[in-house]
Structure 1
């Protein structure tokens, strides 16, 4: 009687072991990768691709992406694109995949996507105005919350005039101002946020002329003038061409009347 009980217990134990083995046979977990890999992403500026990397891609039938626990995408490709990043893009992401025979993998590790607002553009100022030949001129880049700024870059005519690593100062000095310093100036600044260098937009451009006066650089309107010139030309030709046509018609009518009158007078002379 004892051997029978032992056999039953052994079978039950084997069944339990078999059940545990089946449950634990889920496909290996994928990894989720952010491309490009940043610590933070800028709202309305950055694009990011989430890639679900499976150990054996050839055996995968589909991929599922989750955002804050909710299913966001069910696709056959292993990518989920966020373009551009917005405020609602922040949060936790993970993915799973299904094999071709319908088995679901374990979940990937959770990755957190952090977002920040873009930096506001700085303001550029030049002092003194007008700049006088031979004196020192200061170009200042005014940034919001300047105490948190890590560096500045100054540009003249589109080329950087600070050192390659930028400057920690918010001013750029033009010593002994001369005509060689004339040009269009702008600046930007950056902050280190969570280990990433975040750059601001460019400041509005200021043009400094050889006489030391400044003006705000505006986009060229040559293209607009060029694009509108054909229509202006057409109107011009239509208006003045029409007047010329009327003048020619009047001349023709007058000429025909004169010819007719001359012929009539000639006929009358012959009859006399």
Structure 2
């Protein structure tokens, strides 16, 4: 050392060497247990060979220890083989020379992270800052990385500055320390190592699967769709989900539950591509997953509503009446199919017309009374495209009014001279507006018709439920078959009742059935006068 030989076991030098071998071993090692003020300098070595009891002059290798690249030119094969194995082990010393450090090293710096996480994801940027204490003079910084049980290694960084920027990845995960150094007396003096910081790196959670329900190529405005975000099986640590529209627009402002699903009614502006992701919470940090593969939603307006009409169009229908519903699509396209919807007392049901045409013919009855709508449709984009429903039409069905009763006054059918015969038509109920009609020989009698010589009272349109037919006694045209009927106003439509039973009037004042006793008495009385008259004529002429 500095041209002076180092004596083995010299404690004062704070350096000890192994005893030079006296056998066939051709290597000797100088051990430096701790850096100190007495072990700084230039080191050389040499060796002697014992040839017949004499020691030739030693062979001395000049140069510092870091120049071990110089080959010892030993003459025996064992020395050459040993150097062949030794040089690869000493190669790192040739690349990164270790400065000899005095015992009074500068104090340790502080190592910090700009963003401290309990775990990092691949690709995240991490900055380590090494801060020397004031007022230490610093020429440069070194950072050291240690992964697992491996020895620390120096991390190369530009300019030897105080900041080390990393991109987190599995290959650089581990524990980091740092130190600073300065040049002093033509040599490098290094500080103690800083505190350690850990940079664990974990994989980003795998992408979930985003699905649509119902799955379709094309959706119509107003339809509902359900988006479901499903993480990979076995990932139980999910904390929340989020859905994104193309270009990153968040469509669900609230944090969703573990169901990972959201429902919404579609509008035209909902067309686009959607993705989703989920978060997990390992080691105290919430970590987002990779985004799912996108799914596409295409939305358009349904075809405009058709027009539904009735023929005939009544406010109310009678059982047995025929009614035709016609569904008319706008425009000139002819390849549409049609369906009708019926809503009675229960849930709506579909009524299919023959050949899915635009006309539906019904026979009105209580069982099909209700509200009807219609729509037109066709197959497009692997689904059924249906128009909006038409406005509804109503088909109420009611029974006709009950049959009226026809009566004569007086009930005996016997009338005094000059007193007319009255025939009365009575409806069995008072339901509001009613109109009465009288018929003679099945032809309607018009009120006030002088030619018929019969005068009927004006049919009433108020709440009274009777009407009277007056037959003058001196009328020469008052015989025949009489009946009556009436109409009720139901929702603006006049509904006719069945006709009453007929009453037959014969002669001037003869009424069959109900006037039978009065006619019999008339015949008997007439016969009496006729017989007495004949007797009177015979007795007068002959005697």
Instruction: Quickly name the TM-score band, shorter chain normalised.
Output: 0.5 to 0.7
Give the one of 35, 42, 45 matched to 2:121: 42
Query: Retained in 2: the 8 A contact 1:93–1:112?
Result: yes
Equivalent residues of 1:154, 1:185 under 8 A apart: yes
1:103 to 189, 192, 198: 189
Higher-Rg member (1/2)? 2
Q: Say yes or no: does 1:31 pair with 2:110.
A: yes
- With the length of structure 2 as denominator, give the TM-score of the two structures: 0.32
Task: Give the structure with the higher percent helix.
Answer: 1
Distance 2:246 2:140 in 1: 52
Following the alignment from structure 1 to structure 2, what is the Cα–Cα distance between the partners of residues 116 and 157?
Answer: 28
Q: Equivalent residue for 1:91? A: 174
Give the distance between the partners of 2:252 and 2:229, measured in 1 at CA.
12
Q: 2:257 aligns with which of 157, 168, 178?
A: 168
The structural deviation recorded for 1:172 is 0.9
Q: Matched residue of 2:286: which SS?
A: strand
Question: How many Å separate the matches in 2 of 1:140 and 1:156?
Answer: 14
Task: Encode CA deviations 1:131-161: one digit per residue, 9 max, x unaligned.
Answer: 5665542101121244221111112343112
Task: Measure the CA separation in 2 of the matches of 1:57 and 1:197.
Answer: 40
Residues 1:208 and 2:297 are matched in the alignment: yes
Q: 1:78 aligns with which of 128, 152, 162?
A: 162
- What pairs up with 1:254-269 in 2 under 5 angstroms? none
Superposition pairs of residues 115-194 of structure 1, within 5 angstroms: 115-130=201-216, 131=219, 134-144=222-232, 145-158=234-247, 159-163=249-253, 166-169=255-258, 170-174=260-264, 176-194=265-283
How many angstroms apart in 1 are the aligned matches of 2:154 and 2:266? Answer: 62
Higher relative contact order at CA 8 Å, sep ≥6: structure 1 or structure 2?
1
In structure 2, distance between residues paired with 1:197 and 1:134:
37
Tell whether the 8 Å contact from 2:272 to 2:298 is kept in structure 1 after alignment. yes
1:35/1:48 contact within 8 Å kept: yes
Distance 1:178 1:86, change over 3 A: closer
Question: Alignment partner of 2:211: what SS?
Answer: strand
CA distance, structure 1, for counterparts of residue 246 and residue 125 of structure 2: 30
Report Cα offsets for 1:173-203 as digits up to 9, x if no partner: 11x4454543322211111222222112222
Question: 1:59–1:100: 8 Å Cα contact kept in structure 2?
Answer: no
Q: Where in structure 2 are there 5+ consecutive unaligned residues? A: 1-36, 38-101, 147-151, 302-380, 383-543
> Cα–Cα, structure 1 residues 186 and 62, in superposed 2: closer, same or farther, change >3 Å?
same
Separation in 2, partners of 1:182, 1:72: 51
Displacement of 1:209 in angstroms is 1.4
**Structure 1: any 5+ residue segments left out of the alignment?**
1-18, 215-272
Equivalent-residue separation in structure 2 for 1:211 and 1:125 (angstroms)? 20
Aligned residues: 189
Distance 2:287 2:189 in 1: 43
C-alpha displacement of 1:24: 7.0
Q: How does the TM-score come out when normalised to structure 1? A: 0.61
